Chain A
């Protein structure tokens, strides 16, 4: 089935450690996105990528990094520089008139 897969669903990290969240899509979409959602809050854009080997910072990119080496994959690394990383992370992929989301990864820093 076509879709977007985020893994893992739940992730625990010790303070000071980097962690990478996976996002894979088989929809052949050019654009991919990472959003952060805090409890009771909306979706804030972290990074987005329009094509392979290209990406742009969103509204809250500090403390995060991404890569786009393949069309299907857009991993997000939450670095130790991110001051408050505990949140729900959503990945999306899109063509011009469609945008679909993965099921999200809930990251907790312990």
Chain B
């Protein structure tokens, strides 16, 4: 079985603050992919990043950065100097490969981020 936990249901910050969204996952498979998606009020899911289980290198893209730690089964997402346009629901997802997972793509419950001016 696989599971993704996003313990933070809602976060509210003031513009220019840094904010970290937590994601903890569970899987028995050794090969898997982790994803982050952004869902603005319009509803579509926008792909942000993917990591595979063999690459623990952290990644930075502009104001966004991701910290992948297999030892704690976490894949946290940090927005630096947040902006109002960052307000959205953010989802973490897991797709295990092989074993009995059958390519199942599992999402966390999402974190609603509100950035206030």
The one of A42, A90, A94, A102 that contacts B103, using a Cβ cutoff of 8 Å: A94
Number of chain A residues close to chain B: CB under 8 A: 27
Is residue A61 contacting chain B, with contact meaning CB distance below 8 A? no
Q: Which residue of A lies closest to B110 (CB)?
A: A42
Given known A42-B110, A43-B91, contact A92–B105 (CB-CB < 8 A) = yes
Q: Which residue of A lies closest to B35 (CB)?
A: A99
Is residue B97 contacting chain A, with contact meaning CB distance below 8 A? yes
Assess the B109–A45 pair: CB atoms within 8 A: no
Given known A103-B43, A103-B44, A104-B44, contact A98–B50 (CB-CB < 8 A) = yes
The one of A31, A41, A56, A104 that contacts B43, using a Cβ cutoff of 8 Å: A104
The one of B50, B91, B103, B110 that contacts A50, using a Cβ cutoff of 8 Å: B103
Interface residues of A in 31-53 (CB under 8 A from B): 31, 33, 35, 40-43, 45, 48, 50
Q: Which residues of A contact B106 (CB under 8 A)?
A: 45
Number of chain B residues close to chain A: CB under 8 A: 24
Interface residues of B in 17-49 (CB under 8 A from A): 33, 35, 37, 43-45, 47
Q: Bound state CA distance, A40 and B108, in angstroms?
A: 13
Interface residues of A in 87-110 (CB under 8 A from B): 88, 90, 92, 94, 96-104, 106
Q: Bound state CA distance, A97 and B47, in angstroms?
A: 12
The secondary-structure label for the interface of chain B is: strand
Assess the B95–A35 pair: CB atoms within 8 A: no
The one of A43, A88, A94, A104 that contacts B95, using a Cβ cutoff of 8 Å: A94
Interface string of B100-117 (1 = CB under 8 A from A): 001111111110100000
Q: Bound state CA distance, A35 and B108, in angstroms?
A: 12
Q: Bound state CA distance, A56 and B103, in angstroms?
A: 10
Give the distance to chain A from B55, nearest Cβ to Cβ, in Å.
11
Apart from A96-B33, A98-B50, list 6 A-B contacts with CB within 8 A: A42-B109, A50-B102, A92-B45, A100-B47, A101-B44, A104-B44
